[in-house]
Amino acid sequence: MASLSIQSVDEQLAALLKQRAASARKSVSQFVLDTLRQHLGLEKEKRFTAEHDDLDSLFGAWTEEEFSSIQGSISAERRIDPELWQ
């Protein structure tokens, strides 16, 4: 593989690249390579792999009382009636 060095990167661009790479959980080098591939048409944009976080507030919001009630209902449904299995 070839190596490429880019010179004269201003502070604003460098900071933006670092920020976007961190957001994508990639190294700056990997982020730049992926961005170049995408913009040069070597890699198609993934359309159906978007991650959404708009429903995150709904998870983990049960109180202990609500959890106990729900868990009790689930446990009751899982009980096996021995008379049915004879």
Helix (H) or strand (E) holding 65: helix 64-78
**Regarding predicted confidence, which is higher, 18 or 55?**
18
Looking at residue 10, its pLDDT comes to: 95
Q: What are the tens digits of pLDDT across the range 63-76? A: 889 889 999 889 88
Q: What are the tens digits of pLDDT across the range 40-57? A: 989 877 777 777 778 877
Q: What is the DSSP letter of 7?
A: -
In whole angstroms, what is the distance from residue 74 CA to residue 68 CA? 10
In whole angstroms, what is the distance from residue 29 CA to residue 69 CA? 51
User: What pTM does this model have?
Assistant: 0.52
